[in-house]
Amino acid sequence: MEHWLWIILAALFFECKGQDTVTQPTGDVTATEGDTVTLNCTFETTYSGPTLFWYKQEENDFPKYMLKCFSKSVDHAPEIQKDRFHAEIKEKSVPLKIQKLQLSDSAVYYCALQPTVTGNTTTLYKNLWSKDNTILHNIH
C-alpha cells in the first residue's frame, strides 16, 4: 500500500537587522514514501556570513531544531539522519533536501536566519498566571 506524506511549508519572517528577511513558499507538498523532496527557503541579509536554521514541527508539538548552515558547513541535531536531510547555503537560498521520505517526515518545516531573536531577551522569560493569580507554568 502506498502512503502519502504531507509536508507543509510555513514562512517565518524574522527581522534580524535592517531589511533582513527569510521567505518560504507556502502551501502543501505531497510526496510518497521513498521519494526525495526539496523545500525552498530564500533570504536577504546584511550579514556577510549568515547562519540559517531549519526546524521541524510535528502536529500538536513545538518546532524542533534540525540543522544549521553556515559558510560551507552544516551542523545537524544529534537525532537527525545526516544521510537523509541535507541543506547548504547557495547564494541567497538554503534549500532543505529530504531523501527516502518516511511517514514520520510529515510535518511543518521552518527556515530561520540568525539571529532569530532580537531586542530585549528578558521578554522570553514569562510566567503564566491563572485568574486567581496562582502560577500555572514557568517558562524558561
The domains of the chain are located at 31-116
| Furthest CA-CA distance within the chain | 53
Q: Where are the beta strands (DSSP E) in the chain?
A: 4-9, 21-23, 27-32, 37-39, 42-44, 51-57, 64-70, 73-76, 85-87, 96-98, 107-113, 126-129, 135-139
How far, in Å, CA of 55 to CA of 29, rounded?
A: 16
pTM of the predicted protein model: 0.69
Sequential pLDDT tens for the chain (140 residues):
555 555 554 444 444 445 788 999 888 888 999 999 999 999 998 878 889 999 999 999 999 999 999 877 899 999 999 999 999 999 899 999 999 999 999 999 999 998 665 554 444 334 444 455 544 444 43
Residue 5 CB burial class (10 angstroms; 0-12, 13-18, ≥19): buried
Please state which CATH class domain 31-116 belongs to: mainly beta
How far, in Å, CA of 14 to CA of 67, rounded?
A: 17
